[in-house]
Amino acid sequence: MTDSKLTKPTDLDMPLCGVCQDQATGLHYGIFTCEACKSFFRRTLIQQPPACRKDGKCEIKARRRNNCMSCRAAKCIALGMSRTKSRFGRYSAETARDAQLQKRRSSMSDASISSSSSPPTNDNEQEKIISELTRLSLELLRVRWIDATVVRREVSRSYPEREKQFIRYEAENMALCTKALITFAKGIPGWRDIPLSDQVSLVKNNHREFIFMAANFTTDEAQETIYVNGHRAMHKIQLDVLDDNDPRQPVASRLLELIGNIQQMHLTSEERALFAAVSLLTTDRCTLQFKEKAEKMRSEMLGCLQTVLDRTRNDSRKTMSRLLDILLAFRPVADRIGEVDYENMHRYADLDIPDVMRELWERDTWKELDKINEPRKPIDGERPLILIEEKTIKRIFDLGKELFNKTGGAEEAKEITSLVSPLIPRNLTSFLAEEFEEPT
C-alpha cells in the first residue's frame, strides 16, 4: 500500500481523541477525534450549545464528555477544529505515521522531563503556568463574534456606510474579547505586580495582536468568508475599508495572508495561549514605569512556549522563529488598523461604539502632547484637541489638594477638578480600573 492511498483506521495505531481521550477514528475537522466528538462538533456548527452551568472549567473525558456541551465545544475550538478543515478528514498512511511519531515524541519528552536532574519545582511551576494560561485562553475561544455578513447585502455600497459598518462591528466584537483578554492577563505571573498604568499601556498597545493570536481566525477561500472560533464573522469584501483610507498601504490582503500563515501552523491550545501571552507583553511601543519587569515576564512566557514546542514539534526552534516572524509582520498591519479605527471613530462621532473600545483606540494622550510643533489638519467631526503640558495639569491638581488639606476647602478643590478634567482626554484607566487591579 502506498502513502497516497487511504488507510483504514484499524490498519494503523490510531492516536486518542484530542477532545475526550477516547479512541480516535480519524482526522475530523482538522484534528484526530472519535466519532462522537466529530458528530458533536458538526452539531455545534448548526446550533450554539447552551452556556456552562458551572465556571467553564468542566473536564471533558470519554465517560463524562456529555456533561457540559459548552466546555466541550470550547475545547473543540481550542484544539483547532473548524468547518474549513473538513477537507483534511482523510487519513493517509503518511498522516498516520506522522501522528504516531508525534505521539512517541510526546512520550519521550514526558519521560525526559520526569527524569531530568533540574529542580522539579521549576518544571512544576512552568507546567502550572502553561495549564492555567491555556484554561484562561478558552474564554476568548468561547466568544462568538457577531456575524457581519448577514447585513452585508442590506448596507449601501457607499464609502461612508461601509466605513460605519466596519467600525461598528469591529468595535462590538473586539469589546466582547477585551474582558476575556483582561482575565487572561491576570493569569500571567507578575502581571498583578506591575502598576496599573503599565497594565493599561500593554493592553492598549498590544490588544489587536493578542486577539488575532489568541482567537481562532480561519478563512474559507471558496466562500471568501472569515471565521472566528469556528463561526462565520465577516466577508472579505468588508475588509476593503482598511485599504480605502489609503490605497498606497494595502492592509486587507496582508491581514488575510497572516491569518492564513497562522492557520497553516495548526497551533495547539497550549501553543496558541502562550503565543498570545508573548504578544501581549511586547514592550517597544509602550510607555512603562517598570519596563524590565514586563520584559522579564515576556522572557518567561517565551520559555514556556519553547517548552511546549519542544514536546509537540520536531522542528521546535524553527517553529518558534516562524511564530515570532508572524508577530513581527503583524505589527505594521495592527498599526494601520489602529489608524483607521482612530480616524473613523472621530469622523463618525455619533457612531455607537462601546466606551472601552473608544479608550483603547484613542491615541496616547501624552504622545499627542509631544506633537505640539507638528500641527495636523483636523478630521471632520473631531473635537479640537486642547494641548496642555502634563506638568501644568499635575500642578493644578496638586494645588487643589493643598487647598483642601490646609483650609478644608472641599468645594474649591472640587471646582478646580471640574474645571481641569474636561481639558484632559479621558483615560483608559477609568474604564478598566474594575477589571485591572493595582499591586498590593
Give 301's pLDDT tier (boundaries 50, 70, 90). very high
* pLDDT tens, position by position, 75-84: 888 787 877 6
pLDDT at residue 403, as a whole number: 64
Helix (H) or strand (E) holding 218: strand 217-220
d(CA 38, CA 43): 9
214-233: average pLDDT: 68
291-316: average pLDDT: 91
Residues 102 and 131 in one domain: no
Which of 58, 82, 117 terminates a domain? The answer is 117
C-alpha cell at 303: 520559555
Domain annotation covers residue 418:
yes
Query: Does residue 91 have a pLDDT over 50?
Result: no
- Look at the chain and report how many structural domains it folds into: 3
Residue 286's SS3 state is coil
Residues 336 and 303 in one domain: yes
Residue 16's SS3 state is strand
Q: What percent of the chain has pLDDT over 90?
A: 7
Residues 96 and 139 in one domain: no
Burial environment of residue 90 by CB neighbours within 10 A (0 to 12, 13 to 18, 19 or more): exposed
C-alpha cell at 279: 504578544
pLDDT at residue 341, as a whole number: 79
* pLDDT tens, position by position, 96-119: 555 555 554 444 444 333 333 333
Query: Does residue 6 have a pLDDT over 90?
Result: no
State which of 164-173, 198-207, 382-391 shows the largest mean pLDDT: 198-207
Q: Which of 287, 305, 302 is nearest to 194 (CA)?
A: 287
Residues 219 and 356 in one domain: yes
The one-letter amino acid code at 434 reads E
d(CA 344, CA 336): 12
The one-letter amino acid code at 103 reads K
241-254: average pLDDT: 61
Parent domain of 68: 9-117
Query: Does residue 241 have a pLDDT over 80?
Result: no
Instruction: Answer with the residue of higher pLDDT: 92 or 115.
Output: 92
Residues 48 and 85 in one domain: yes
Domain annotation covers residue 437:
no
Mean pLDDT, the chain, whole residue set? 70
C-alpha cell at 141: 475561544
Task: Please report, for the domain that includes residue 41, its CATH number.
Answer: 3.30.50.10
* pLDDT tens, position by position, 346-360: 777 777 777 778 787
Domain annotation covers residue 383:
no
pLDDT at residue 30, as a whole number: 77
170-186: average pLDDT: 83
Instruction: Answer with the residue of higher pLDDT: 427 or 40.
Output: 40
Residues 75 and 149 in one domain: no
pLDDT at residue 371, as a whole number: 36
Q: Locate cell 481566525: which residue? A: 217
Residues 175 and 98 in one domain: no
Residues 255 and 351 in one domain: yes
Which of 117, 150, 173 terminates a domain? The answer is 117
Domain annotation covers residue 385:
no
**pTM to 2 decimals?**
0.54
Give 13's pLDDT tier (boundaries 50, 70, 90). low
The one-letter amino acid code at 309 reads L
CB 27 within 8 A of CB 96: no
Domain annotation covers residue 431:
no
What count of residues does the chain have?
A: 440
Residues 144 and 234 in one domain: yes
Residue 370's SS3 state is coil
Long-range contacts formed by 105-112: CB under 8 A, 24+ apart: 105/311, 105/312, 105/314, 106/311, 106/312, 109/310, 109/311, 110/311
Domain annotation covers residue 404:
yes
Give 71's pLDDT tier (boundaries 50, 70, 90). confident
Instruction: Answer with the residue of higher pLDDT: 129 or 45.
Output: 129
Q: How many CB atoms lie within 10 A of CB 96?
A: 21
pLDDT at residue 48, as a whole number: 77
The torsion of the CA quartet 275, 281, 285, 286, rounded to 10 degrees, works out to 160
Task: Please report, for the domain that includes residue 338, its CATH number.
Answer: 1.10.565.10
Residues 248 and 394 in one domain: no
Angle between helices 159-186 and 269-280 (to 10 degrees): 100
Domain annotation covers residue 290:
yes
Which of 65, 99, 117 terminates a domain? The answer is 117
pLDDT at residue 280, as a whole number: 93
pLDDT at residue 3, as a whole number: 39
Domain annotation covers residue 1:
no
Residues 236 and 157 in one domain: yes
* pLDDT tens, position by position, 323-373: 988 888 888 888 888 887 787 777 777 777 777 787 877 765 334 333 333
Residues 193 and 126 in one domain: yes
